[in-house]
């Protein structure tokens, strides 16, 4: 049992969380290629038997990581800052708030940004398992949007383009500090991005309504 840490089995949630954190650390450090259950077992310092008491297999663990609030901001967090008044905001403000809140949520999760940087370099079933919960989280958010959104507006494409840009900027700010003269960790630069998002969403909705 040398090197094996003893964690009380009577606290499964604590063990699960430590396992997910260890999985996140492995992914952030070495990416998706060659990811194995053994690497996670070594990282957390538990036996394979203990790990498999909490997750069926590595796929199950990766899925759970993607669904965890520590990896991706939940809808409640994305709406934080406007409690009780989100539904009263005009549609363009609600949509813009999604992208702005996503940026802030990601900047608060540096390990997630490191993992997303690896996604740009390699794709496999594990990276796809992390994607599915993100898509569902976005759908959950947009189900809360109130007001009139033009039926002709291709909202899926809008979210893909603006969401992709937001995530890329967050990843680049984490990796290199500055992209295009902007550092999203700087409050002033982040405010500039917020204003551009407001303008873009307002313009998109206006054009969609004209169409």
What number is the average pLDDT over the span 48-57? 92
pLDDT tens digit sequence for 156-168: 898 899 999 999 9
At 179 the pLDDT is 87
Q: Identify whether 5 is part of a domain.
A: no
Q: Identify whether 2 is part of a domain.
A: no
**Model-level pTM?**
0.85
Domain boundary among the residues 31, 46, 67 is at: 67
Measure CA 25 to chain center. Answer: 15
Q: Does residue 113 share a domain with residue 20?
A: no
CATH of the domain at 25: 1.10.10.60
Q: Identify whether 4 is part of a domain.
A: no
What number is the average pLDDT over the span 143-172? 86
Q: Identify whether 190 is part of a domain.
A: yes
From 201, 83, 74, select the one nearest 136 (Cα to Cα). Answer: 74
81 Cβ partners below 8 Å, 6+ apart? 101
CA distance 21 to 103: 21
Domain carrying residue 16 = 12-67
Quick one: CA dihedral 167, 27, 179, 191, positive or negative? positive
Q: Are 127 and 32 in contact (CB under 8 A)?
A: yes
- DSSP state letter for 4: P
Q: Are 100 and 194 in contact (CB under 8 A)?
A: yes
Q: Does residue 126 share a domain with residue 39?
A: no
At 2 the pLDDT is 41
Q: Does residue 59 share a domain with residue 98?
A: no
Main-chain phi, psi angles of 178, to 5 degrees: -135, 140
Cβ burial of 130 (10 Å; 0-12, 13-18, 19+) is: buried
Q: Does residue 198 share a domain with residue 107?
A: yes
Q: Does residue 91 share a domain with residue 174?
A: yes
Q: Does residue 91 share a domain with residue 63?
A: no
Number of domains into which the chain is organized: 2
Q: Which of helix, strand or coil describes residue 77? A: helix
pLDDT tens digit sequence for 176-203: 988 889 999 999 999 999 999 999 999 9
At 151 the pLDDT is 78
pLDDT tens digit sequence for 83-116: 568 888 888 898 999 999 999 999 999 999 999 9
Q: Identify whether 19 is part of a domain.
A: yes
């Amino acid at each position: 049992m040398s090197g094996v840490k003893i964690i009380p089995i009577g606290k499964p949630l604590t063990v699960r969380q430590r396992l997910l954190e260890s999985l996140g650390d492995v992914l952030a450090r070495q990416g998706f290629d060659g990811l194995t259950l053994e690497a996670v077992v070594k990282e957390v310092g538990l036996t394979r038997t203990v790990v498999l008491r909490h997750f069926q297999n590595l796929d199950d663990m990766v899925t759970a990581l993607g669904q965890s609030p520590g990896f991706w901001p939940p809808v409640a967090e994305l709406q934080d800052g406007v409690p009780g008044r989100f539904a009263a905001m005009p549609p363009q403000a609600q949509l813009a708030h999604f992208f702005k809140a996503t940026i802030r949520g990601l900047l608060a999760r540096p390990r997630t940004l490191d993992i997303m940087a690896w996604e740009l370099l390699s794709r496999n079933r594990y990276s796809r398992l992390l994607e599915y919960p993100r898509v569902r989280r976005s759908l959950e958010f947009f189900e809360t949007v109130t007001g009139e959104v033009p039926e002709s507006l291709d909202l899926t494409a809008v979210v893909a383009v603006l969401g992709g840009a937001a995530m890329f900027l967050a990843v680049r700010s984490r990796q290199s500090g500055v992209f295009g003269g902007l550092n999203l960790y700087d409050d002033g630069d982040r405010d500039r991005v917020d204003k551009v998002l407001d303008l873009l969403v307002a313009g998109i909705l206006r054009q969609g309504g004209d169409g």
